Every structure is written in C-alpha cells, then in structure tokens.
C-alpha cells in the first residue's frame, strides 16, 4: 500500500468511497450521496502545503482517503488546529488502511505546524471510535442529539490529540 497526496484524478474515487459511507448510514452527516462536481471546491481547499488530502493506494486502486481540514476558517486563533476525516472503501476494510492513513496524517502535522488535531465521530459509530482511540486520540467533548437520521437522534463525539508546539514556543494559556 502506498499513501500519497491526492491528485485531481483521484476525486471520483474519493467521492465514491465517501458515498459508500453516506449510503451505509450513521458514518457521516450527509444523508444523500454527493456528486464529484459538488466536491470540487472542497477538494481544491485541500492543498498539500496547507490542509492535505491523502489517498491510500492498493492494487492500483484508491482504497481509502484522509483529509486535514481547517477548523473555523479565517479565525486566526484556530490556525494551528485541524480536523481529521478518514474513509475506506468497503472492499478494503479491516486491512489497517484507516490506521495507516491517520498515522501518516498525524506525522505530517509537524510540518504543517498543527498543534491540535480533532476528529468528529457519530456516537453510534463504534468502529471509528475504537480506531481513533487506538491512534492516541482522547474524547474531548460530546454534543448530544446533534444529528438526526430520520427519526433517530445521534450524538457527536469530539476526539482530540495535542501535537507538537511549533518554533520552540509554548502556547500562551491566559485566563
């Protein structure tokens, strides 16, 4: 398996994998599949020097992907914080691909000067909760009843990880 930065030609595969999660239910907040065209702007917002999008390639197929996304874009105090998301093609699950993608992204955070990384996980998604905890994330928060899937109310868990502190400086924690 090879993990690399996503290229424009990967977008249809990325969207296809994401839509598997949408159709499976309770894995993402989207209720209907998305189109490649609707995700073009999102893809373009993930540059390798700012907020990378990685793909795992196995057998010459995109087997999974992982993104680091801006948290509260435009608000300077959050520039060192990113959100991680990850999805694996159903044909490639249970092979360690998601764990490898997360490890790759976390390792790249030093280069990007991210100091905090978090993941948002639906409280019914036990597999993702177990995975993210195994990667060193801790539960930082819980939003009860934050999502509705038809008549089913679901909470949103916030998992976080503190990363390096850039440039030899410590964050200034003021009260």
Sheet holding 53-58, edge to edge: 2-5, 53-58, 61-70, 81-88, 116-122, 152-162, 138-149
The owner of tokens 């916030």 is 158
Q: Parallel, antiparallel, or unpaired: how do β-strands 116-122 and 81-88 relate? A: parallel
| Tens digit of each residue's pLDDT (9 = 90 or more) over 10-64 | 999 999 999 999 999 999 999 999 999 999 999 999 999 999 999 999 999 999 9
Residue 175 in any domain: the answer is: no
DSSP string, 48-64: TTTS-EEEEEETTEEEE
What residue numbers bound the domain in which 136 lies? 2-168
- Cα atoms in the 13 Å half-sphere on the side-chain side of 6: 29
pTM above 0.75, yes or no: yes
Domain assignment present for residue 174? The answer is no
**CB 55 within 8 Å of CB 4:** yes
Q: Is residue 63 in a domain? A: yes
In this structure, is residue 173 part of a structural domain? no
**Tokens read off for 4:** 């690399």
User: For 102-146, how does the pLDDT look when each residue is reduced to its tens digit (9 = 90+)?
Assistant: 999 999 999 999 999 999 999 999 999 999 999 999 999 999 999
Question: How many domains, in total, are found in the chain?
Answer: 1
Tell me the CATH number at 43. Answer: 3.40.630.30
Type and span of the H or E element at 122: strand 116-122
């Amino acid at each position: 398996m090879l993990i690399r930065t996503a290229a424009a030609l990967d977008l249809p595969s990325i969207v296809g994998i994401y839509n598997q999660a949408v159709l499976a239910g309770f894995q993402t907040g989207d209720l209907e599949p998305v189109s490649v065209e609707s995700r073009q702007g999102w893809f373009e917002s993930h540059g390798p020097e700012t907020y990378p999008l990685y793909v795992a390639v196995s057998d010459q197929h995109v087997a999974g992907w992982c993104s680091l996304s801006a948290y509260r874009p435009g608000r300077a105090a959050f520039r060192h914080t990113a959100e991680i998301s990850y999805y694996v093609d159903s044909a490639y699950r249970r092979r360690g691909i998601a764990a490898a993608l997360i490890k790759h992204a976390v390792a790249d955070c030093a280069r990007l000067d991210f100091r905090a990384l978090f993941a948002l996980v639906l409280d019914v998604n036990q597999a993702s909760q177990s995975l993210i905890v195994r990667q060193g994330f801790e539960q930082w928060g819980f939003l009860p009843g934050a999502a509705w899937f038809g008549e089913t109310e679901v909470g949103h868990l916030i998992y976080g990880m503190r990363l390096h502190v850039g440039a030899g400086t410590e964050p200034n924690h003021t009260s």
